[in-house]
Amino acid sequence: MSLTRTELFVDGHWRKSSDGSTFEVVNPANGARLQAVSDATAEDVRDACQAAASAFAAYRKTTVKERTAILHKIRDLLLESKKEIGEILCLENGKPLAEAEGEVGFAASFFDWFGAECRRAYGQHIPPPAGDRQLVTVKQPCGVAAIITPWNFPIGMLARKTAAALAAGCSVVIKPAEDTPLTALAFAAVCERAGLPRGLVNVVPCSRGRVAELGRLLCAEPLVRLLSFTGSTAVGRLLYRDCADAVKRIHLELGGNAPFVVFDSAPLELTVRGALAAKFRNTGQTCVSTNRLFVQAGIYDRFVEALAEGMKKTLQVGDGMVAGNNQGPLINKRQLEKVQALVADAMAHGAQVVMGGRQPPQGGLFYEPTLLTSVSRQMRLYTEEIFGPVVAVYKFSTEEEVIQMANDTNMGLAGYFYTSDYQQSWRVAMALDYGLVGVNEALISTCEAPFGGFKHSGFGKEGGQQGLDDFMETKYICFGGLKL
């Protein structure tokens, strides 16, 4: 049976929205209409929260061994359906099919990891200060978790949160991005196939017009104990504020403004490969994408030439469903216009266009891989996330200067640098004010390591050992009156 679904998944059932409304999902590569998806109402979301609360009452009592079996079953089914989900993802998101299938594998890795990690949610025995007492801590699941996910990794981000939540013993209500609900619904179909208890996982897509109302509802709803969000800093700030009223725990994975620093001693070939990967994966639409590329004066000319060469040789713009294309369209018109505006602003302030700087012949939502030099801090793209296939190159002289520039932002998600100087590698890694640092490596996100930012990039960690903690409460228990 196919995994394509268009209805809401609430309490283990597929259903239309309570007012029967739908919204359209289109293929960004050609504008074709893919599906009309049920548009959740407040009533639907309340039902989903209620279902999740009922499921939680039973699920919280499962043993870790039972949870491991559930998570690993989801892992296996995701891996089995890699091709099918990959295709759904490619069609609604536009990323190349190979990247889409890779993302399904990435999603499965979190079910693999947290399926094992739940067995290590240890508490503590604390040496007591008095003889008639024993002090211990235990970790317990928070309860119902609301999960709001973005369109750029429609199943990767969903899985990183959902796997940790289920491993911790929580139930979930997932609100996927309006551009990419079909992948999230395919995930719900996988959960159904895995035989998950009713209401443990609920998926309630909605249109952009309803998202603010439903977001407020999830923040206010007392049945929801935690909100986990990945998306823009602007929306994260709104949710943070709304969660304050309910004193609700919130976990925020927000935007980035990643520096990528190339020191004079950097190994050229490896660095160019890293720069291409950190910039052009998902057509530059990731929160860990390089936003500012700082190159030291001694290697500057060689590096820019090699990067331009690498871009020409390896980047192929076009529909992600066609083999060989690795630069898909931007997700929507809003995103395309933002990229165009940032490039226009940079050019108006003196940036040089080495390559690209416009739309390719196929038009639509495609944008040419672009290389800008003579970039300076007066330009908007110094502070704003580009989220598109545009490399902005800055020249610098000293390590001190580049650390200052790299940290000169409100954001603090990912930062990268390349060097062959052993001393410099530790020194700079410690100085960068970022939650994730890649030293001579640009693809650093993996289920085994904690992912999360500093400053306006948010707080909380996903993946790694710490990923479970966000979905758990630590309870201290004091046993008194003991006759020992």
- Which residues of the chain form contacts with ligand ADP (CB under 6 A)? 148-150, 175, 177-178, 211-212, 215, 231-232, 235, 238-239
**Nearer to ligand ADP by C-beta: 40 or 71?**
40
Catalytic residue (choose from 92, 101, 117, 253): 253
The answer to whether 178 is a known catalytic residue is no
Min CB(427)–ligand ADP separation in Å: 34
Distance from chain centroid for Cα 211: 19
Q: Which is nearer to ligand ADP, 28 or 150 (CB)?
A: 150
* Bridge partner list, 477: 136
Strands 414-418 and 258-262: parallel
Q: Decide whether 67 or 210 has the Cβ nearer to ligand ADP.
A: 210
Look-up of token digits 């100087």? 421
| Calpha distance 255→103 (Å, rounded) | 20
In this structure, which amino acid lies at residue 39?
Answer: D
448 is catalytic: no
Query: CA 417 to CA 470: how far, in whole Å?
Result: 29
Cβ-based nearer residue to ligand ADP, 255 or 320: 255
The CB-of-61 to ligand ADP minimum distance in angstroms stands at 31
- Taking the complex as a whole, the smallest distance from the CB of residue 189 to ligand ADP amounts, in Å, to 19
Quick check: 387 and 338 in contact, CB under 8 A?
yes
- Non-local CB neighbours of 457 within 8 Å, separated by 6+ positions: 233, 253, 254, 255, 256, 287, 411, 412, 413, 435
C-alpha dist (Å) from residue 48 to 13, 17, 239: 10, 12, 19
Q: Cβ of residue 382: shortest distance to ligand ADP, in angstroms?
A: 20
Q: At closest approach, how far in Å is the CB of 168 from ligand ADP? A: 22
Q: And the tokens for 251?
A: 């976990």
Strand intervals (E) in 183-310: 201-203, 224-230, 249-253, 258-262, 290-296
Nearer to ligand ADP among residue 44 and residue 112 (C-beta): 44
Tell me the residue number closest to ligand ADP, measured at CB: 215
Catalytic residue among 170, 287, 399, 462: 287
Strand partners, 484: none
- What single DSSP character describes residue 222? T
Q: How far is Cα 440 from Cα 457, in angstroms, rounded to an integer?
A: 23
The CA distances from residue 173 to 45, 80, 154, 160, in Å, are 8, 24, 15, 14
Contacts of 426 (CB under 8 A, 6+ apart): none
CB-wise, 333 or 427, nearer to ligand ADP? 333
How far apart are CB 183 and ligand ADP at their closest, in Å?
12
Supply the minimum distance, in Å, between the C-beta of residue 150 and ligand ADP: 4
Tell how strand 472-479 and strand 134-141 pair up.
antiparallel
Residue number, 141 or 215, with CB nearest to ligand ADP: 215
Quote the DSSP letter at residue 284: G
Residues with catalytic roles:
253, 287
